[in-house]
Amino acid sequence: MIQRRHVFTLLASACALPQAALAAPTRYALDHENSHVEFKFKLNGAPQTGSMPIERAKITIDPQHLPASQVDVTLNVARARTGLIFITQAMTSSGVLDAAQFPTIRFVSRRIILGAAGRISEGAKIIGDLTLHGVTKPIILQAAIYRPHGTPADDLSQLNVVLNGDLNRNDFGASGFPNLVGNQVTLDIRARITAVK
């Protein structure tokens, strides 16, 4: 599991990147062991936490033009877990996520807005389409990309990606158990990626 305070060092902005480092748009592969999605919701008013594995991710970073970078992440709904088995079963049932009919959740970026310092961090946002329960709607995620602590500034061969945001499950038709489960769901996606040579 990625621990932000220990392993993240801010990725330099495009203008500060050495010309030799990733001069062209670079594809990255997902490190499944160090990538996960955590989600939070309320059950009967009490906070609950669950997790959902990342099935696949296609990430391309263009160091010369960071807003042209792309993110495409697919989550495995069938393997979602919460702290209690009956909550997990209810969540993946036909009344909510319906894992049998819609086994994945997908986010595809459409636009990247850089932070104030011209980086994919410190206020950066990724605007994209989220497909959940067979419904596709736009969503805005807070975004940050970092390189592991202790790596040279010109070594972008391995990076850590953090995406955060909120959604209303009713907007996607996942509206089962309305008297028990809150509508707002908070996402925390953390992925470690490695440049594809």
CA 153 to chain centre: 24
Mean pLDDT of the chain: 86
Q: Which amino acid is at 145?
A: I
pLDDT reading at 10 higher than 50: no
Q: Tell me if 184 sits within 8 A of 41, measured CB to CB.
A: yes
DSSP-assigned letter for residue 4: H
Q: Which of 22-36, 39-53, 70-84, 155-169 has the lowest mean pLDDT?
A: 22-36
Cβ contacts of residue 147 below 8 Å, gap of 6+? 9, 11, 155, 156, 158, 159, 160
Average pLDDT over residues 164-186: 95
What is the CATH superfamily name and number for domain 4-12+26-195? Lipid/polyisoprenoid-binding, YceI-like (2.40.128.110)
pTM: 0.83
Question: pLDDT grade, residue 125 (50/70/90)?
Answer: very high
Question: pLDDT grade, residue 170 (50/70/90)?
Answer: very high
Neighbours of 15 (CB within 10 A): 10
Q: Tell me if 183 sits within 8 A of 45, measured CB to CB.
A: no
Q: pLDDT tens for residues 78-112?
A: 999 999 999 999 999 999 999 999 999 999 999 99
* Per-residue pLDDT, 118: 82
**Spans of all domains in the chain:** 4-12+26-195
